[in-house]
Amino acid sequence: EKDGHDWFMRKEIFEQPRAVADSLLGRRNAAGRLQLDEVRLSDEELRDIDKVIVIACGTSFYAGMVAKYAIEHWCRIPVEVELASEFRYRDPILTRETLVVAISQSGETADTLQAIRHARTQRSKVLAICNSNGSTIPRESDAVIYTHAGPEIGVASTKGFLTQLVACYLLGLYLAQVKGTRYNDEIAQVVDQLEQMPAHIETVLGQADQVYALAREFVGTPSVLFLGRHAGYPVALEGALKLKELAYIHAEGFAAGELKHGPIALVDDGLPIWCVVPPRGRDQLHEKMVSGIQEVRARGARTICLAEEGDTAIEPYADELIRLPKVPVLLQPLVAAVPLQLFACELATLMGHDVDMPRNLAKSVTVE
Ligand code: M6R
């Protein structure tokens, strides 16, 4: 049942190329246009949407953060991302033109469920992104995009996360298609790039041994930091959550630009810092990240960099370097999250923890 793996989590990490491919299957019609059959909202209703609020918890919340970058870029409408447990208690501004997107792997998370119930009382449209057919959240939503990860047994979400990202991208591209904010050719090009992601994820998984060797080196470390920018920022947060959940060690993710506003004071000799380096592009993201890495390294940190193939600028500042395939920045979370999952899984295993059932946690949190 674990396909020869020691943990369900590890099996699920290695299933990700398949899970991502399945989640992309059948999303285009014969004319090459996106079609999301389960989104039972008319084009007219979707065109009227003037704001998106994504609500979720934990790892699903981080997928929502990536959705914000993607949907705002492609659709030019404001996207808020909110923890489900906070949403109801702050009197959010909800109208008929608000699309509330609830992301939940299990479809049973009580905080998220209560949040959508509240949104519906305000007449907002609710779209669920969910991995469990017929679960409560999609049943109580106006529309749903199912991810096709297959059952996720490990308490730590892995393939659930990657397939949620896929669903968020599809939603963003679909909205752009309906609203006409992007040319069809451009949308088709991104879908083509998405279709190449399973092969890219496979390439990253091929480097598992390098990540495991790192995990061996860091057994006993009291703390690990994670840095990212743009879509790499939620990946940093996700990397830190995985490590907390599984290895029970202090881990924090930061937006790299925030370092100088406080967290850099934490940096000390030998502190391991994972750095999600954005692809080189026309913006300043990459350069800014490199200079942030330089700063922490000058203060004694051990930098473990995830950087795209061919990025030589990072080499002088990377104590360890794991290569990622060349992909656009918005899609990079699909490859960058994988080494962080492998690292947490391996480190926790080496520490003798039960990776599939970490202490104090449940797979789906059905109490508020
Ligand atoms: O089933 P959901 O996606 O609604 O679950 C949300 C969180 O409870 C979940 O992502 C949790 O943070 C995981 N244990 C993360 O690995």
Mean pLDDT of 257-272: 92
Distance from the alpha carbon of residue 195 to the mean position of ligand 1, in angstroms: 26
- Whether residue 237 is predicted with pLDDT greater than 90 in this model: the reply is yes
Minimum-distance ligand 1 atom for the alpha carbon of 365: 8
In this prediction the ipTM stands at 0.98
- Ligand 1 close to Cβ of residue 141 (< 6 A): no
Distance from the alpha carbon of residue 192 to the mean position of ligand 1, in angstroms: 29
Look at strands 98-104 and 125-130 and give their pairing: parallel
pLDDT tier for residue 59 given thresholds of 50, 70 and 90: very high
Testing ligand 1's pocket by substitution, the residue of 13, 61, 106 carrying the most ligand atoms inside 8 A of its CB is 106
> How far is 330 from 308, CA to CA, in rounded Å?
13
Distance from the alpha carbon of residue 57 to the mean position of ligand 1, in angstroms: 6
- Ligand 1 close to Cβ of residue 60 (< 6 A): yes
Task: Write out the two tokens for 333.
Answer: 């979370």
Q: What is the pTM for the complete model shown?
A: 0.97
Which is nearest to 156 in space by CA: 243, 29, 48, 98? 243
pLDDT tier for residue 261 given thresholds of 50, 70 and 90: very high
- Whether residue 247 is predicted with pLDDT greater than 90 in this model: the reply is yes
Are 179 and 34 within 8 A, CB to CB? no
Task: Write out the two tokens for 140.
Answer: 């109580």
Minimum-distance ligand 1 atom for the alpha carbon of 157: 16
Q: Would you call 363 a catalytic residue per the annotation?
A: yes
Distance from the alpha carbon of residue 203 to the mean position of ligand 1, in angstroms: 26
